[in-house]
Amino acid sequence: MKENKTRMLVFSLIAVIVVLLGIVMYSFVIRPAFTGYATNAYNQGLQVAVSSIMQQATTCQPVPLTIGETTINMIAMECLPPACLQ
């Protein structure tokens, strides 16, 4: 009977150690890797969007920007005549 309780205690301790190792792995390895990937993907998408808007604006044609129901037309300042800049 004593051997059975000792065996159960050893298995319980091993289970606790495995669970704690899983929590540590998730907290310090898996989650940072995933959130780092998500942040990098977000930043890359933002950079592509801004770059595309800048390229379109340099053609001296209005670039419509829409957020919700609000739309503005953007144009590069270099395309405006000097009299408009004063």
The pLDDT tens digits of the residues spanning 38-66 come to 788 888 999 999 999 999 988 888 899 99
Residues 82 and 74: beta-carbon distance below 8 Å? no
Average pLDDT in the 33-37 region?
A: 76
Residues 57 and 75: beta-carbon distance below 8 Å? yes
| pTM tops 0.75 | no
Residue 36 confidence class, pLDDT cut points 50, 70, 90: confident
What's the confidence (pLDDT) of residue 14?
A: 94
What's the confidence (pLDDT) of residue 79?
A: 83
- Strand-pairing partners, residue 71, are 66
Please check the confidence at residue 13 and state whether its pLDDT lies above 80.
yes
Apex 52 CA angle, 48 and 55, nearest 5:
140
Q: What is the dihedral of CA 63, 64, 66, 72, to 10 degrees?
A: 100
